[in-house]
Structure 1
Amino acid sequence: MKKITFFITAIVLLFAFACTNNTKKEKSGDEIVTSTITNSNGKSIDITYNTTEETATIVFNGETIVLQQQPSASGIRYANDTYEYTEWQDEVELSRNGQVVFSSKDQ
């Protein structure tokens, strides 16, 4: 019985540590989450979410884009005067002036 309890505890601890590797706290106390999304055409975007400031910073084609979180009925949405970034049901889109420039569903 002791072996089973030890084994279950070890699995739970391993799982807990494995699930926390994408989030880090900055010195300012902001919660920062980073992600890279690559579509089927091999294009990728790097995203840094600051959940405290409600911003997303995207690097796409060498350009750094800072967006502010926007209200959304479903999924997430960040935008500025030129760009809009949305995530909904595992689909990601980045639009520039209304034209989609990146999509995770590109075929």
Structure 2
Amino acid sequence: MKGTHHGNLDDHDRRRVRGFAAAYVFLVIMVVAFNMRRIADFLEAEAEESRRENPQAPPVQRARDRKYANPYTATLPGGAPDEVELARRREKKAEGARRKAELRATSRTPLRT
């Protein structure tokens, strides 16, 4: 409690008040803050220990992701990639590149990339 980084109870310049009552109020506030800090450190250490003992379980999937294919992420139920959807996206990208190349070849002015 007398450390310089937490409370600094030993330094009388930190609590410049007149009277014993005001000094005791500051003392009580510092002791409460110190105790709260120790409790928080204890709970944090306990949580860290429980995380080490029990590794984090995989996240729970939403029902819509468990039951239906997701076209936005191209995944099937269970999180497996949808190879058909991925192949369709590759074909669409290749088609767009082919069209762009054709336009570039037939155009008199160069297209921006």
Task: State the TM-score, normalizing by the size of structure 2.
Answer: 0.24
Task: State the TM-score, normalizing by the size of structure 1.
Answer: 0.25
- Structure number with larger C-alpha Rg: 2
Which of the pair has the greater relative contact order for Cα pairs under 8 Å at 6+ separation? 1
